[in-house]
């Protein structure tokens, strides 16, 4: 019996698996330039105050993103607030977007999501955007350090590396207040069992009434880190968590003589930054003269002389205006305004679409004048 199949013979038209693959391969990519609506498909309670929201596009779309990137959501609360959330899902599963959100007491955005985002509900988004990512195929030894909801970018990177079955040498250190606050605890155990190169170490500030804790206890410190990852100095470190946590990690590593060139972090806290020059925000402005330009805020009738490198948002504040703004780094899109005339240098981080730029819109938080300008504010 000859059971050799020719390539032609393998094209078994009509088989369900092949039909599926044909359909999947036809799914268009999500285009951040034009696609802007996600539909909630599922909500999962992760811990007492953390939920994961699963979304897909209205029409079938494949999302292309790097693990660690985020999307920015327009939430209909207090008029409208924009909030960014890291995609916690694997970048190797392109048909869904998952975000994992901690409820912040008194915070409008996170509470609205927890209370009102249910399957079937639609939400406007921009992105994916952001540059906090590691190459999942990297041969570097990695150390992830996260606390609280700062686990989300690390989780996406870990899930992606696991899905791609890449040989990784990854140590994942996560800190929580109590064992009941540990997000993804069971999945991390599963991923560890499935990936020989992955080691997870958890630490809790204290036990909780409902969960006994026999693991590392207390704030992450150098002796603890040295026990968890004796070779931490040989690793690339990715860190995400509350501002004070990351400051503590930075200080700890610097004290230990760690090469900070190999340290990367993501802040969830826009408030920690203030409006100012782009250089203060770490952006590199092009080589321009030290010429001052006039910013004419047309609607309010204010004119401000803008110092070199000063953002239009800062100029507006100097004029006593209070334009809506949030992230101060060209990510969230809150400060989008119309540029009536003149030229600006805009160093944005994904918070504006090209078609909006073509319509003369700018994000004033990350735009510096290159000539006298008129802004519709
Ligand atoms: C790139 C990025 C990725 C992120 N990823 C995640 C993620 O994966 N998961 C996650 O849970 N979060 C993430 N965040 C944080 C998220 O965007 C929100 O900041 C968070 O959900 C809180 O939003 P909120 O509207 O509930 O509260 P906020 O409005 O941020 O308020 C937080 C607290 O500050 C108080 N507050 C707010 N504004 C003022 C003010 N003007 N004066 C005084 N107090 C004020 C509020 O009352 C509240 O107590 C990310 C942030 C960024 C920038």
Ligand 1 and 184: CB distance under 6 A: no
DSSP conformation letters of 28-40: PBP-TTT--EEEE
Between the CA of 231 and the centroid of ligand 1 the distance, in Å, is: 34
Given this model, what pLDDT does residue 9 score? 42
- Bridge partners, residue 336, by sequence: 363
The answer to whether 228 and 170 are in contact (CB under 8 A) is no
Given this model, what pLDDT does residue 281 score? 41
Domains located in the chain, CATH noted: 37-129 (2.40.30.10), 141-268 (3.40.50.80), 279-375 (3.10.20.30)
User: If you take atom 6 of ligand 1, which residue's CA is the nearest one?
Assistant: 85
Q: How far is CA 69 from CA 87, 98, 154, 281, 327, in A?
A: 6, 12, 10, 19, 15
Neighbours of 326 (CB within 10 A): 19
User: If you take atom 52 of ligand 1, which residue's CA is the nearest one?
Assistant: 268
Given this model, what pLDDT does residue 274 score? 39
Ligand 1 and 79: CB distance under 6 A: no
Given this model, what pLDDT does residue 130 score? 86
Given this model, what pLDDT does residue 13 score? 54
User: If you take atom 25 of ligand 1, which residue's CA is the nearest one?
Assistant: 109
Mutate to test the pocket of ligand 1, among 54, 81, 83 (most ligand atoms within 8 A of CB): 83
Given this model, what pLDDT does residue 288 score? 52
Distance (Å, whole) CA 88 – CA 222: 28
Ligand 1 and 16: CB distance under 6 A: no
**Helices within 71-179 (DSSP H only):** 108-116, 151-163
Ordered per-residue pLDDT tens for the chain, 377 residues: 444 344 444 444 567 777 777 777 788 999 988 999 999 999 999 999 999 999 999 999 999 999 999 999 999 999 888 899 999 999 999 999 999 999 999 999 999 999 999 999 999 999 898 889 986 455 689 999 999 999 999 999 999 999 988 778 999 999 999 999 999 999 999 999 999 999 999 999 987 777 788 899 999 999 999 999 999 999 999 999 999 999 999 999 999 999 999 999 998 876 554 334 444 444 444 455 578 899 999 999 999 999 888 999 999 999 899 888 878 888 888 899 999 999 999 999 888 988 899 999 999 999 999 999 999 99
The answer to whether 236 and 134 are in contact (CB under 8 A) is yes
Given this model, what pLDDT does residue 167 score? 72
DSSP conformation letters of 62-101: B----TT-EEEEEE-SSS-EEEEEEB-S-TT-TT-EEEEE
For the chain, the straight-line distance linking the first and the last C-alpha, in angstroms and rounded, comes to 80
The answer to whether 283 and 309 are in contact (CB under 8 A) is no
Please choose, from the candidates 366, 308, 310, 314, the residue with its C-alpha nearest in 3D space to the C-alpha of residue 336.
Answer: 366
Between the CA of 86 and the centroid of ligand 1 the distance, in Å, is: 12
Given this model, what pLDDT does residue 12 score? 45
Beta strands 293-297; 336-341: pairing state? unpaired
Given this model, what pLDDT does residue 241 score? 94
């Amino acid at each position: 019996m000859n059971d050799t199949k020719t390539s032609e013979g393998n094209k078994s038209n009509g088989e369900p698996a092949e039909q599926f693959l044909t359909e999947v391969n036809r799914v268009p990519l999500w285009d951040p330039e034009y696609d802007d609506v996600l539909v909630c498909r599922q909500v999962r309670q992760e811990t007492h105050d953390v939920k994961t929201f699963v979304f897909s596009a209205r029409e079938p779309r494949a999302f292309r993103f790097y693990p660690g990137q985020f999307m920015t959501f327009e939430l209909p609360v207090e008029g409208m607030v924009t909030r960014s959330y890291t995609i916690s899902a694997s970048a190797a599963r392109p048909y869904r977007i998952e975000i994992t959100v901690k409820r912040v007491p008194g915070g409008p955005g996170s509470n609205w999501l927890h209370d009102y985002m249910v399957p079937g509900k639609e939400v406007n988004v921009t992105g994916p955007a952001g540059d906090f990512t590691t190459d999942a195929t990297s041969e570097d030894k990695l150390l992830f350090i996260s606390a609280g909801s700062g686990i989300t970018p690390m989780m996406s990177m870990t899930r992606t590396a696991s899905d791609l079955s890449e040989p990784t040498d990854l140590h994942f250190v996560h800190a929580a207040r109590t064992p009941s606050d540990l997000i993804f605890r069971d999945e991390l155990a599963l991923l560890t069992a499935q990936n020989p190169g992955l080691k997870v170490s958890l630490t809790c500030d204290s036990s909780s009434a409902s969960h006994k804790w026999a693991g590392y206890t207390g704030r992450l410190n150098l002796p603890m880190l040295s026990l968890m990852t004796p070779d931490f100095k040989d690793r690339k470190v990715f860190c995400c968590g509350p501002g004070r946590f990351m400051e503590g990690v930075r200080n700890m590593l610097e004290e230990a003589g760690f090469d900070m060139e190999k340290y990367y972090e993501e802040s969830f806290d826009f408030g920690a930054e203030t409006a100012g020059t782009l250089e203060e925000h770490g952006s590199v402005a092009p080589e321009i003269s030290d010429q001052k330009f006039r910013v004419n805020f047309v609607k309010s009738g204010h004119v401000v002389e803008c110092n070199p490198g000063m953002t239009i948002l800062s100029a507006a504040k100097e004029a006593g205006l209070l334009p809506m703004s949030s992230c101060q780094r060209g990510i969230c899109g809150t400060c989008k305004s119309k540029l009536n005339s003149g030229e600006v240098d805009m160093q944005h981080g994904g918070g504006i679409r090209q078609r909006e730029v073509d319509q003369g819109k700018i994000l004033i938080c990350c735009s510096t004048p290159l000539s006298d300008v008129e802004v519709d504010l």
